[in-house]
Structure 1
Amino acid sequence: MIQPICQLFLALISKSLQAKPLVNRKRSSGRSKRKGEHMLYYARRVRSGAVVAFLLAFASFLLMPGAWTAQAQKAPTMANLVEGAKKETTFRAMWGSDTLDGAAGLQKIVSAMNKKYGLKIKPAFTPGPNMQGMMTKIAREKAAGQPASSDVYFGNPQSMLQASKVDVLEPMNWRSFLERPLKSDDPSFDPIVPGNIGIAMASTLVGVIYNSDRVKGNDIPKKLADILQPKWKGKIASTPYAAGLREFAMPELLGREFVMDYAKKLSKHIGGLMRCGEMDKITSGEFLMLVLACGDQEVNIAQRSGIPLGYAIMDDATISHTRYSAIPKNSRAPNTAALFISYLHTAEGQKLMWDIDGLDFHLYPESNQKKRLDAAKARGAKFVVSSPQWLGKNKDYAKTQNELEKILRGEAS
């Protein structure tokens, strides 16, 4: 398609350059007539030169690597993506084994996607690093001219902020191929990452995980102050990366001064540090609470099996940790990746993600997270959606996190 168009334009350019003057330049006996002919001649030459310059510029654009593709991909239709995906037989995925239940979860989602869109895609899962580590890996592969290890990328606000500084994710007109509208009533939160390089797909609320066999009734904390009661000293844990606290310290929530003071008190109250996801340390009774947790997805899954875990969202504040999806520029199956992301935004995709991973997106009316968030806001909790835009605005975020980590490790007074 591009080559015939370029040939046409080059032919026009050649013809313009070889064209003879548009007026008869024979000598005229009248001085004024000669002057008028020369003025008309130069005016037409200038106009012809402008046309040639435009044709050259446009032909150069068409010949630029990826220019035509970029224009075509601005607003792909579902039909475009399905047709393209039929030529992509394998869908490679790499992320942490606890994300979307690893290989088993990927198989369930791809099977449902195949059925919905009439495809025969084969999933291939490989356990990978955390979200920031995976972004670094994909960026290195692209720089080396290698295909991405994962055809789709899952990230958090931090990794998407990282991605915005490197040219590694494909800009997409996401809303053009979603099955239903994606709207945010919160003016401070846009689910589309700046530059259209990614789209939010799920959220989880920050709170406290507790052993529901050992912490019951009025003992279940409602505010951060409840956690500092003497009965809990030495029996609770926090995270080595100050989950929750780092966000609560931002100006829109509880503020730096309050959280720094609280962290100092908490550091003398905890019995140790643990990572989000190490639920066995709570269920075994080694720790009775995790203050604060990265989100509630593990608890949502555990409760279905009768595992004694509970989750409490603080009345002081909460934050919605957002999960993002995107397509690496070096993806080997970009059409399948787009359909995979689109499917997770459908009502059935959201339900499947909740069943598999205890996650869904609070922007959709049927969302479990929306119900919990609405209840927290009704109790007066301050609330922010964590996003790359929000993190980018809070320049002291990384510095504050480092200071909080040192406090929790007992390295700062």
Structure 2
Amino acid sequence: MARLILTSRIAITTLVALLAWTGAAAAFEAEAQLHEAAKKEKDFTWYTAHYDSETAAAVCNGFEKKYAGVKCNYVRTTAQVAYQRVSQDMKGGLAIASVISSTDTSHHGKMKKDGWLQPYRPKNLGEQIGAFKPYNDPDDQFVATAAGLVLINYNSSLVPDKDAPKKWTDLLDPKWKGKVSIGHPSFSGYVGTWVVQMKKMYGWDYFKKLELNKPRIGRSINDTVTMLNAKESWVGAGPLATTLQSKDKGNPVAVGYPEDGAILMISPSSILKNAPAPNTAKLFMEYLLSRDANEIMVKFRQDPVNAHVKPLPGGRSIADVKTVRPSYEEIDKGIPEVKELFRDTFGI
């Protein structure tokens, strides 16, 4: 009887270990064949506004390590610049990038309408967090591969936590005059979405009042973190991930989750119709949704889109945060409108 129990325990232990190994090494359908096809293409180019340059590089490096024989070339810019690059390539008949990842969801809708994208439904789409599935294109021409938050960030060596802004309207307080930093909607998809949502919640008067505080205006949403670190500003409307990344490096920055809602950012990726490396592009789309890629993303404080990967300690899960977000239609119509209003109001 003792031998039988011991044998059973060994069998169970072996089975558990085997299942764990199988789960970790689980491949999507036809992964090996797609990898072989990608190796024949040798490399591909990825236009991306997702993350910062350091994170984009890490994602590319991770892809190359997982899929030997394939080189990943990333071009990290703001969303508007990424879209302009694709537009220029398409109009010039140039096939350069294979994958485009923008933080402005309306870009993907426009590219779909203009016939610049090709459909692909990732085989591992089942691992995507359920809350993000409604943001995938029903015709499989774009899929949500990144998520994040726009919230209030601040320099914690200048602003005690108790005095930090608690809601978006607090940035209008005259005590922050000359001390607020924001990005520009003509460059950043994150900023464009934030401006559309603020206009929706508070009207354009919000920005007329903010202008009285003479904010420092960068291009990228990430510029707010740079300005906080340099003490050029004290508070800002900035990104969760880049702020926490900077904090992890020892910089005195912190985040506040606005009582009136952090802006939920859903950022899609697409394969371009004229992709010079279509098989590598499909493999990369699979990778962006994979556990491997998402484990890299969370190390850089990005929010995971894979259901099996959890955020690092120190930041809240998106599921636990009050969030607000304009609809796709509001973003598509609103960003072009607010770009003009922003220039008129801030003169830049």
Same-fold status (TM-score > 0.5): yes
Specify the alignment match of 1:383 in structure 2: 324
Tell me the amino acid that sits aligned with residue 44 of structure 2.
F
Specify the alignment match of 2:341 in structure 1: 403
RMSD: 3.1
3-state DSSP of counterpart to 1:330: coil
Specify the alignment match of 2:319 in structure 1: 374
3-state DSSP of counterpart to 2:154: strand
Specify the alignment match of 2:5 in structure 1: none
Structure 2: distance between partners of 1:329 and 1:362: 25
Deviations 1:53-102 (CA, angstroms, capped at 9, x unpaired): xxxxxxxxxxxxxxxxxxxxxx9843442342232222333446974527
Deviations 1:191-223 (CA, angstroms, capped at 9, x unpaired): 312532111111111112211111122112211
3-state DSSP of counterpart to 1:286: coil
- Does structure 2 retain, via aligned residues, the 8 Å contact 1:205–1:313? no
Tell me the amino acid that sits aligned with residue 323 of structure 1.
S
Specify the alignment match of 1:15 in structure 2: none
3-state DSSP of counterpart to 1:123: strand
Specify the alignment match of 1:34 in structure 2: none
CA separation of 1:80 and 1:239: change in aligned 2, threshold 3 A: same
Structure 2: distance between partners of 1:387 and 1:364: 24
User: For the pair shown, which has the larger CA radius of gyration, 1 or 2?
Assistant: 1
Structure 1: distance between partners of 2:327 and 2:231: 34
| Residue in structure 1 matching 2:254, options 296, 310, 335 | 310
3-state DSSP of counterpart to 2:45: strand
What is the TM-score normalised by the length of structure 2? Answer: 0.76
3-state DSSP of counterpart to 1:398: helix
CA separation of 1:308 and 1:371: change in aligned 2, threshold 3 A: closer
1:152 aligns with 2:99: yes
- Does structure 2 retain, via aligned residues, the 8 Å contact 1:193–1:389? no
Query: What is the Cα deviation at residue 374 of structure 1?
Result: 3.0
Structure 1: distance between partners of 2:55 and 2:319: 30
| Residue in structure 2 matching 1:168, options 116, 126, 147 | 116
Query: What is the Cα deviation at residue 144 of structure 1?
Result: 4.3
Specify the alignment match of 1:105 in structure 2: 58
- Does structure 2 retain, via aligned residues, the 8 Å contact 1:245–1:259? no
Query: What is the Cα deviation at residue 128 of structure 1?
Result: 5.8
- Does structure 2 retain, via aligned residues, the 8 Å contact 1:234–1:270? yes
CA separation of 1:261 and 1:230: change in aligned 2, threshold 3 A: same
- Does structure 1 retain, via aligned residues, the 8 Å contact 2:127–2:290? no
Query: What is the Cα deviation at residue 225 of structure 1?
Result: 3.4
Tell me the amino acid that sits aligned with residue 311 of structure 2.
N
- Does structure 2 retain, via aligned residues, the 8 Å contact 1:223–1:315? yes
3-state DSSP of counterpart to 1:84: helix
Structure 1: distance between partners of 2:272 and 2:254: 37
1:261 aligns with 2:209: no
Specify the alignment match of 1:344 in structure 2: 288
- Does structure 1 retain, via aligned residues, the 8 Å contact 2:119–2:140? yes
| Residue in structure 1 matching 2:195, options 239, 245, 256 | 245
Structure 1: distance between partners of 2:165 and 2:302: 23
Deviations 1:8-40 (CA, angstroms, capped at 9, x unpaired): xxxxxxxxxxxxxxxxxxxxxxxxxxxxxxxxx
CA separation of 1:93 and 1:363: change in aligned 2, threshold 3 A: closer
- Does structure 1 retain, via aligned residues, the 8 Å contact 2:53–2:76? no
- Does structure 2 retain, via aligned residues, the 8 Å contact 1:315–1:376? no
What is the TM-score normalised by the length of structure 1? Answer: 0.66
Tell me the amino acid that sits aligned with residue 227 of structure 2.
K
Structure 2: distance between partners of 1:389 and 1:80: 39
Higher relative contact order (CA 8 A, sep 6+): 2
Worse overlay, 225-234 or 160-169: 225-234
1:181 aligns with 2:127: yes
Task: State the identity %.
Answer: 22
Structure 2: distance between partners of 1:225 and 1:342: 40
1:289 aligns with 2:229: no
